[in-house]
Structures are given as structure tokens and as C-alpha cells.
Amino acid sequence: MAEQFFTAWKAVFQANNTRKLICVWHVDRAWRKGVREHITNKVQQTEVYHQIRTLLMESSESEFRVLLQEFLTYVEENYPSFYMYFRDTYCNKVPQWAACHRQHAPANTNMYLESAHRVLKVVYLHHKQNRRIDHLITVLLKISRDEAFDRLRKVEIGKSTHRTCEISKRHKNAEKILQSKSYNIVPISSASWKVESEREHGKFYTVCFSDSPCINDCKLICNICRVCIHQYSWTPSYTTQYANTLT
């Protein structure tokens, strides 16, 4: 998103806590292209790409800072051209692309925007090119009206979404694990635990609970135990990306 679009967004919606996040898919595509342009050796390309993907997916801020510094030192010594490209283009935008700065983000790509654009172009404009701004505004108002009514209908009938169904499914899976007594949980403090992975024995996650209440209208509370996923944080890093399927 160009800076002028984000400035216009903030001016219209007047949301002080609005953040601009760069689409992960576009970041990955740009990095692949940058690696090919600045590094000629195929093996070296793979090595550097693997390192920046690790940076992209790291969810711990402290670990991310260490990895970033090590990576910059490495590429500065071995691939100065790529170092200049990465430093000038992405190091000043870390909060916009790093996973550690988008904990529990509801989306990692701009697919929601792409979907909305398709609805506008196909459903409402019928593949016709729009030339008048007043007509476009009228169409956007119709979309807003239809979306508002659709949202009210879903809330009224209590329609289950993919995310709420997934939350209930994971709750039931946790109950089965507890009943089988196959779990391994080691308390660290009154609000943190080490939990062994169900799939990889010997691999532990650190789970921390925060008593800070979630937003009042959060719809991602488990219907069975009334627990909100936003009250928990955990490591290692890839579990954050897995959790984003819920948030």
C-alpha cells in the first residue's frame, strides 16, 4: 500500500491504533526476486532465502532482533549488493512485515481486499469499466448496506463461522488429550507453562496467560469454556502463524 493511501485511510477512519501491514505473500515474492537479482549462485540463493524466511516467521521480538543482526552481518560480508537492497528497503519497515510485530493478526495477506475488489468488479459493476466517481460512490454505499444487513442476519441467527467451529474442535481435542492422560505439562509460574507437543515428543511450547481482558465484542471466545485466544501467547514461532487461522 502506497503511503498516500494509508494517510487517506487514517484521515477518513480516524483510528489512532490503525497499523499498516505489508502482505506476506507480496513480501515473499519481492524477496525471491531480490535474491535472484543480487545473488547469482543457486545454492547461495537458497541459503539466503531460507534465512530471510526464518526472519519473516519468527514471533519472538527478542529472538528476531538477534537473528536480524546476525543476518545483516552475514550478508554485508558475503553479499554486499543484497545487503544494501535489504537494508534500504526492509530494515526501516520491520513492524510492517515481521511476524513478531503482528501477533494474533487476523490476516497475513491482502486476500480479503482482493476478494472485496472482485465483489465490486464482478457482482456490482458487472465487469464494466467505471468512469464516474459519483456512480462508484453509489455502488460502494450499496455494498456497505448489503454487508451490514448480511452481518446483522448472521448475528441474529447465530451462524457459526469457520473460526468458531475450529475453536470448538480444538477444545474437544484438548478434552480427549486430558482424558487419555497422554499430556505433559510443566508449570513455570502461576501464569505460564511448558507444554509438550502432541505430535513431536520432547518438543515443548511455552504458554503464557495474560489476565488483561480482550475487547468487549470479541467473537472468538470458546463457546464451551469461554476462554479467548487473545489472552494467551506461546512459542516457538510457527505456532503463532498456526494460531492466526483462528484470530
Q: What is the pLDDT of residue 163?
A: 77
Predicted pLDDT of residue 108: 61
Any idea how long the chain is?
Answer: 247
Consecutive sets of 10 residues in the chain, 247 residues long: mean pLDDT of each? Answer: 73 74 88 95 94 89 91 94 94 90 66 82 89 91 90 75 82 84 83 84 83 69 80 63 47
On whether the pTM is more than 0.85, the answer is no
Cell of 220: 472468538
State how far the alpha carbon of 111 is from the alpha carbons of 2, 116, 118, 200, 212, in Å.
17, 9, 10, 32, 31
Orientation of helix 61-78 relative to helix 80-90, angle to 10°? 140
Which positions ≥6 away from 208 have C-beta within 8 Å?
A: 191, 192, 232, 233, 234
Closest-CA residue to 244 (of 118, 59, 32, 22)? 59
- The bridge status of strand 232-235 relative to strand 185-189 is unpaired
Distance CA 68, CA 51 (A): 9
* H/E segment holding residue 137: helix 133-157
DSSP-assigned letter for residue 103: T
Helix (H, G, I), strand (E, B) or coil at 65: helix
Residue 231 near residue 192 (C-beta atoms within 8 A): no
